[in-house]
Amino acid sequence: MSLLHISDFAPSVNDSRTTGFAARHANLSQKFRSEDRKDSTGIAGIVGESAALREALHLAETVAPTNSTVLLLGETGTGKELVARAIHEASNRHNQSMVKVNCAAIPSGLLESEMFGHERGAFTGALTQKAGRVELAHQGTLFLDEIGDIPLELQPKLLRVLQEREFERLGSTTTRKVDVRVVAATHRDLEEMIRQGAFRSDLYYRLNVFPIRIPSLRERPEDVPMLVWHFVRYFAGRMGKHVEAIAPETLEALSRYSWPGNIRELQNVIERSVVMYERGNLSVKKSWLESEGLRSASHEGSPFRRSAVDDRRMIDAALAETGGRISGPSGAAAKLGIPPSTLESKIKAMKINKYSFKPIPVKTAGGNGSSVAPASPVCEKESAARSSESEPFDPSICSVCFA
C-alpha cells in the first residue's frame, strides 16, 4: 500500500490507482501541521470548503449582526452548536453571554424551572430563589438546542418570551422583561410535528424567522479529508504523538463512507485511530465503520428525516413490547434509547394512551386465580375506557370479561 506521507506529498506518476485522489489533497498535511493554522472557514471549530457549508455559513454571517431569531436545522452531529456560537460571536451581543439550554437533556419536570427560574418555596425542594436561563441570557444570546423536544405545555411560555419579551418565574406573579436574541436548533421535522399536534404552529412561525440548514457530512464528502487532518492534528497534539502518514486509500474510504453520525462520528473514529497509532501510516479498521444494514437503519431512523408518524409507530411498538412499561431496563424508554421523562412528554404530546398496552388480568380455568393475557379490548366499555386518558380499565366490573 502506498502512503500519503507528510514529508513526501508528491504522488508517484506510476501509481495510477491513488494519484488522482492524492493529488487533490496533496497539500492537506502541510496545511494542518502549522501550529498557527486557523480553521478553513475562518470560524473556530468549523472546517471545510464545500459549497454546501459555505452557503450555510454565508447565511449565518448575514444574519449575525441583526437581532433576528435564527432556526438551525440539520441532523445530529452536523455542528449546529458551533454555528450558533459563531452567530453570537459575530453579533453586537458578543460581549455578553451565550446561554445554552438543551431541551432534550433536562427532564420535563425541571425544564420550566431551569428556563424561567423559580421563587423560594415554589415547589418542594425550592429552598432558594433561582434565576432561569432566559433571565441569565439578558442582553445576550439564548441558544435553545433540540427545540423540538420542548414539552408542549412549556411552549406558550417560550412563545411569550419571543413575542412579548417577558416571563414570570415559577411561583411568582411578577412579570419580568428580558432582552434576548434567540437561536434555536433541531434535528426534527417541526412542520410534521405541527401536523401531529406535537408542536405549536405559532411558536414555529416565531422561531422560523431566519432558517439555516446545516448540511450533513455525506452532502459534503470533499470536506472529509480536511476534517480528518484537523482531528488527527488535534488528538495527536493532546496525546503527544506525531502522525507520519495516512494512506490515500484510507482517506478515500473515509470520504466515500456516508457518516450517519456526521462529524461527531468522524471525530470518534479519528480519535480511536490516533489512540491505536504507533508509527508509519494512520489506519482505520473497517469494523469501526457501521455495517451497511446498520447504516441504512441509521439513515432511515434519523430524527431529522423521520416523521412524527414514524415516531408514533416506534413508540407504539415499544409500548406494546413492554406491556406499557416506561422506565427500567426492560421499559420502553430503554428500548428507544431515550430518557423516561422524554418518552412521557412524547406520549402526552401525541395523546397516546399508555394504559391500553398494559396486560389484562383474566380468570384462570379454575376460577381461583388469574393470569395475564395480552392487551386487547374485549368489550365496548373497556374499549371506551382505554381510548380515554383515565386510569386503566378494571375488568372485574365488566360482565363480559368475567362472564
Cell of 259: 457518516
**pLDDT tier, 301 (very low <50, low <70, confident <90, very high otherwise):** very low
pLDDT, residue 389, reads 44
pLDDT, mean over the chain: 78
Place of cell 506529498: 9
The pTM for the full model equals 0.66
Segment 111-128, tens digit of pLDDT:
999 999 999 888 888 888
Whether residue 371 is contained in a domain is answered as yes
pLDDT, residue 279, reads 84
Share of the chain above pLDDT 90, in %: 45
Q: Using CA atoms, how far apart are residues 34 and 362, in angstroms rounded to an integer? A: 74
Mean pLDDT of 176-183: 96
Q: Does the pLDDT of residue 294 top 90, yes or no?
A: no
Both 281 and 369 in one domain: the answer is: no
Cell of 281: 501510516
Segment 152-172, tens digit of pLDDT:
999 999 999 999 999 999 899
- Which of 68-72, 230-234, 282-286 has maximum average pLDDT? 68-72
Report which of residues 307 and 205 the model is more confident about. Answer: 205
Both 323 and 248 in one domain: the answer is: no
Mean pLDDT of 258-286: 90
Cell of 93: 451581543
Inter-CA distances, 274 with 28, 231, 235, 277, 281, Å = 17, 9, 7, 5, 10
Report which of residues 340 and 87 the model is more confident about. Answer: 87
pLDDT, residue 298, reads 45
pLDDT, residue 50, reads 93
pLDDT, residue 290, reads 62
pLDDT, residue 345, reads 76
Both 169 and 84 in one domain: the answer is: yes
Both 57 and 173 in one domain: the answer is: yes
CA 228 to chain CA mean position, Å: 22
Report which of residues 354 and 183 the model is more confident about. Answer: 183
Q: What is the DSSP letter of 42?
A: S
CATH number, position 228: 1.10.8.60
Q: Using CA atoms, how far apart are residues 107 and 53, in angstroms rounded to an integer? A: 33
Both 374 and 263 in one domain: the answer is: no
By DSSP bridging, strand 70-73 and strand 181-186 are: parallel
Both 332 and 280 in one domain: the answer is: no
Neighbours of 241 (CB within 10 A): 16
Q: Does the pLDDT of residue 51 top 90, yes or no?
A: yes
**pLDDT tier, 316 (very low <50, low <70, confident <90, very high otherwise):** confident
177-216 residues labelled b (16+ CB within 10 A) or e (exposed) = ebebbbbbbbbbbbebbbebebbbeebbebbeebebbbbb
Whether residue 312 is contained in a domain is answered as yes
Mean pLDDT of 1-23: 36
Q: Does the pLDDT of residue 103 top 60, yes or no?
A: yes
Alpha helices in 170-326 (DSSP H): 190-195, 201-207, 224-239, 248-256, 262-276, 292-300, 308-322
pLDDT, residue 363, reads 53
Whether residue 122 is contained in a domain is answered as yes
- Are 327 and 333 in contact by the 8 Å Cβ rule? The answer is yes
Whether residue 32 is contained in a domain is answered as no
Both 129 and 189 in one domain: the answer is: yes
pLDDT, residue 305, reads 45
